[in-house]
Amino acid sequence: MNCCGHGRPAVRNETKERGTFIKERCRLSLQEMGRERGDDMQQRAAVRDRMVRIASALGLVMFSVALLILSLISYVSIKKDFLLSTPRYGPNGGSRMSMFHAGFRSQLALKYLDPAFTPLTNALSEDLQNSSKWTYNRSAFIQLKKEISQYIDIPHNFSLTTNSVRIGQLMHYDYSSHKYVFSIGENFRSLLPEVSPILNKQYNVCAVVGNSGILTGSHCGAQIEKFDYVFRCNFAPTEIFKKDVGRRTNMTTFNPSILEKYYNNLLTVQDRNNFFLSLKKLDDAILWIPAFFFHTSATVTRTLVDFFVEHRGQLKVKLAWPGNIMQYINSYWKTKHLSPKRLSTGILMYTLASSMCDQIHLYGFWPFGWDPNTGKELPYHYYDKKGTKFTTKWQESHQLPAEFKLLYKMHLEGLLKLSLSHCA
């Protein structure tokens, strides 16, 4: 009895302990399972991350390989005749077959740079060999001058004058939003001419010299020097390239961005001296400064104005600051089916020259990466450093192949003479 009576609490205690033990084991098992599940999820996440990184790396490699293949295809397509043969050219351009190869290469360039461009025929090669046969069409050129004058009176609108603007007047920009303005200050107005510097100016035969790499090795300098009036573009250097481009300059454009690109915004004494010496070489030429094309030129324009005021009387160069004339010039060229985002400086200079000259010859107007006379590769500008690759950044704003096609058509019509061959 006593034994049985004393044994019941022991059984209950043992059962209780066993239940507690089981609960603890369950709790520990659940914790272990949780840890294992967490570890498993971490491992899966790590695997996913590795797979994503591998996929990204493979995608980048495949993209790079695709770009390389496309580049090689383009290079081989354009240069295949160089790889297959190395034709030799004589001093005057070589044989007709060699000229055909050069012409073919030029046509291929036109197709690549402007797919809508109808390739030029062998007439271009023929013309390069027989440039002396070009005939000036005086009556057609007079008609062209009249047509342009219906859109803009260039002599009177060539530059703002002291009488055409007032201090405090707000100028807008041709290619920027109308909200951007430039306030005419006293210093700016003091730099304006009293009358247009080309008013009542007329010249017989003029040269408009572009900056194409086709002038490299052309030996056209002596020929350019003989013209009655020489237009140049964008303050291009001439001194060390005089054999090919000559030195004479009667007018040159000067985009304010040139100050930033080549003269470090005149931030140092050396920069200012370099700019002063460059201007000194122009003597009494006209510096045509289109300050109201883009609002981004505003700060540089003020720097330029301060410099000219500071050096007033020390330079012979004549300053010209055109107002908002581009809408009128653009309207004319639209009638010739030319309506790029922005006309090139070269065709703009031809437009200005048409009001001052009886006959116009163009040099350095060739927007392609090799010489049509020899087939050799060319830099974009004749003054680019040796080894500089031909650029097509101009495609963002210009339609240079279309411009060239139009200029060549005008050449055939006797409205201008397009010089593409070497001069000596």
Mean pLDDT by runs of 10 across the 424 residues of the chain is: 46 55 59 59 68 71 64 46 34 42 46 44 58 89 97 97 97 95 98 97 98 94 98 96 97 93 96 97 96 94 97 97 95 92 92 98 92 86 77 63 93 95 88
Give the separation between CA 79 and CA 65, rounded to whole angstroms: 20
Q: Does 8 map to a domain?
A: no
What's the gap between Cα 190 and its chain centre?
32
Q: Does 134 map to a domain?
A: yes
Q: Is 101 a catalytic residue?
A: no
Q: Does 292 map to a domain?
A: yes
Where does 138-250 show beta strands of DSSP type E? 170-171, 182-183, 203-209, 229-232
Residue 133: its pLDDT value, please? 82
Would you give the DSSP letter of residue 395? G
Q: Does 327 map to a domain?
A: yes
Residue 250: give its domain's CATH number: 3.90.1480.20
State both tokens at 166.
């007032």
* Contacts (Cβ under 8 Å, ≥6 apart) of 57: none
The parent domain of residue 253 ranges over: 123-419
Look at strands 318-320 and 417-419 and give their pairing.
unpaired
Residues across the chain? 424
Residue 360: its pLDDT value, please? 98
Candidate list 101, 361, 381, 398, residue with the active-site label: 398
Burial class (CB in 10 A: 0-12, 13-18, 19+), 263: buried
Q: Does 7 map to a domain?
A: no
Q: Does 115 map to a domain?
A: no
Q: Does 69 map to a domain?
A: no
Number of structural domains, the chain?
1
Does the reported pTM lie above 0.95?
no
Count the Cβ atoms, other than its own, within 10 Å of residue 236.
Answer: 21
Residue 167: its pLDDT value, please? 98
Q: Does 85 map to a domain?
A: no
